[in-house]
Amino acid sequence: MGREVFWNLPNTITMVRMIVIPVLVGFPFYADWAGSHVVAWIYIFAAFGDLVDGWAARRGQQITRIGKLLDPLADKLTVTTALIVLLTLGRIPSEGWAGLFGLGLVVIIVGRELAVTGLRGIASAGGVVVGANWAGKAKTLSQNIAVGFLLFPQGTLEIKNHEIGVLLLGLAAALTLWSGYVYFADYFRAENADTQAPR
């Protein structure tokens, strides 16, 4: 196998996407109307970059093992950072019964992301790279849409976008659980097939 180049176009786009993470961490300090718009659009461009780096990797035949690991890692770091910050700001409910619902959604999503990251680590140790599948892509899209609604200030486009964002986050949590099941089922199916294969 030839030596892979790290700083190719797709991997560079992936690394640039991670710039949104420190922006999100500082969001509580400028979460006013203007700051919310700026951060929301930066997040949207970073999410769009996820489509671009995948397209560039396939079109330029620059798919690498490190890229297969970095791309979903960038998604997970970005989404989990956004969810924790939004929970801190109260844009995801954090008090009362609504708070239990909002906190539960965040725990489900973050917990699943940690579980799948652990699965990828185990698979990588065995020489297997667990790449993204259609369920994972649907999960990421739903999460990004929900987070986008929550990052914009309330009343954007004269709608209650924060309430809509929480409902979309519920849908994203359901897809998150489903995609996690698909990843684990595919992994154990492949493991069983390898174990039963003739040597």
Going from the C-alpha of 138 to that of each of 29, 36, 61, 135, 176, the distances in angstroms are 32, 25, 23, 5, 9
State the pLDDT at residue 173: 95
What percentage of the chain reaches a pLDDT higher than 90?
52
- The class (CATH top level) of 9-196 is mainly alpha
Please state, in angstroms and rounded to a whole number, the distance separating the CA atoms of residues 96 and 162: 17
What is the residue-averaged pLDDT of the chain?
87
Nearest to 139 by CA among 52, 69, 79, 55: 79
Please state, in angstroms and rounded to a whole number, the distance separating the CA atoms of residues 67 and 74: 10
State the pLDDT at residue 111: 95
> Residue 10 — very low, low, confident or very high, per pLDDT cuts 50/70/90?
confident
Least confident of 38-52, 91-105, 165-179, 184-198: 184-198
Identify whether the C-beta of residue 139 lies closer than 8 Å to the C-beta of residue 176: yes
Q: Tens digit of pLDDT for each residue in 99-147?
A: 899 999 999 999 999 998 888 888 877 776 666 678 888 888 999 999 9
Token pair 């970073």: residue = 46
DSSP 8-state secondary structure symbol assigned to residue 160: -
Identify whether the C-beta of residue 117 lies closer than 8 Å to the C-beta of residue 73: yes
The model's pTM = 0.87
Please state, in angstroms and rounded to a whole number, the distance separating the CA atoms of residues 91 and 98: 11
> Residue 199 — very low, low, confident or very high, per pLDDT cuts 50/70/90?
very low
Nearest to 54 by CA among 67, 73, 41: 67
State the pLDDT at residue 186: 84
The stretch 36-52 carries a mean pLDDT of 92
Please state, in angstroms and rounded to a whole number, the distance separating the CA atoms of residues 139 and 127: 26
User: Which tokens sit at 28?
Assistant: 């509580």
> Residue 8 — very low, low, confident or very high, per pLDDT cuts 50/70/90?
confident
Residue ranges per structural domain of the chain: 9-196
State the pLDDT at residue 129: 63
Q: Between 179 and 196, where is the model more confident?
A: 179
Torsion over CA: 92, 90, 141, 8 (sign) = negative
Identify whether the C-beta of residue 46 lies closer than 8 Å to the C-beta of residue 39: no
Who contacts 50 (Cβ-Cβ below 8 Å, separation ≥6)?
Answer: 17, 71, 74, 75, 140
